[in-house]
Amino acid sequence: MTRNALHEIKRSLDGLIGEKVLLRANGGRRKTVERTGVLEETYPSVFVVKLDPPDGTFKRVSYSYADVLTETVELMVCRDGDNVRITYTQV
């Protein structure tokens, strides 16, 4: 079942490549990191987000689809001023 869930998350992200996203991730020690960027690429096990530069430099981060499944990482698509959260719900 988990393998199917990871595949579904990847498939939903495949259609969002190039979209602006809001990324909320666990930074450790009760710290949450929140950044915006562009979903740049999806690979079999991970996806890559090119972060918006706070200081003029670009940075890329990658997370696994399991991070989305376990809600360690929250990913929201930013469209027309609204944020749509990417989640997986079992049917």
pLDDT digits (tens, 9 = 90+) for 21-70: 999 988 788 888 888 999 999 999 999 999 988 766 778 999 999 999 88
Chain centroid to Cα 68, Å, comes to 7
Decide yes or no: CATH 1.20.58.100 for domain 2-86.
no
pLDDT exceeds cutoff 60 at 1: no
Are the C-beta atoms of residues 13 and 39 closer than 8 Å to each other? yes
CA atoms within 13 A on the CB side of 70: 8
Q: E strands within the chain?
A: 20-28, 31-42, 46-51, 59-64, 73-79, 82-86
Domain boundaries, the chain: 2-86
pLDDT in the model for residue 91: 45
Global model pTM greater than 0.85: no
Q: Tell which residue, 74, 85, 87, 84, has the closest CA to residue 8.
A: 87
